[in-house]
């Protein structure tokens, strides 16, 4: 999956404060490397946290990262659904629309047509 271009406000922040951005990136890398969870699991956990704080941009980012780490659309949808009892209906429904933004924009897998002989 190709790397997505970062939103303009994020790009502007990183250009204006490159040292702060670099420190933030190092912190994220250290957190990812500091435990036993695999990349897919880490991204699904972070997706859940992004949903919990109702951050549409972070949800978009972590859906992309979860897909890159090998999560299936079904696993991503399940991660969203798990938030329903804790976060409630409005947050969960909003999260489904946010993940849909990314899942709908993905290229469709090529399916081979069967040729009858």
Please report, for the domain that includes residue 61, its CATH number: 1.20.1290.10
How many Cα neighbours within 13 Å face the side chain of 47? 32
Helices (H), 17-55: 18-33, 39-52
Domain hosting residue 82, numbered range? 38-105
Q: Average pLDDT in the 91-108 region? A: 92
- At residue 88 the predicted structure's pLDDT band, cuts being 50, 70 and 90, is very high
- 7 pLDDT tier (thresholds 50, 70, 90): confident
**Domain tally, the chain:** 1
**Prediction pTM value:** 0.81
Q: What average pLDDT does the segment 29-47 reach?
A: 97
Domain annotation covers residue 113: no
Q: Is residue 117 part of a domain?
A: no
Let me know if residue 57 belongs to a domain.
yes
Q: What is the pLDDT averaged over residues 42-48?
A: 97
Average pLDDT, the chain: 90
Give a yes or no: residue 29 inside a domain. no
């Amino acid at each position: 999956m190709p790397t997505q271009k970062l939103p303009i406000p994020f790009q502007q922040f990183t250009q204006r404060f490159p040292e702060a951005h670099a420190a933030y990136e190092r912190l994220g890398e250290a957190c990812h490397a500091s435990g036993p969870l695999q990349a897919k699991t880490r991204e699904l956990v972070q997706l859940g946290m992004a949903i919990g704080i109702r951050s549409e941009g972070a949800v978009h980012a972590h859906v992309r990262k979860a897909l890159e780490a090998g999560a299936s659309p079904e696993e991503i949808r399940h991660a969203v659904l798990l938030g329903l009892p804790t976060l409630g209906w409005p947050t969960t429904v909003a999260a489904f629309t946010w993940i849909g933004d990314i899942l709908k924009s993905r290229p469709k897998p090529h399916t081979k047509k069967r040729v009858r002989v």
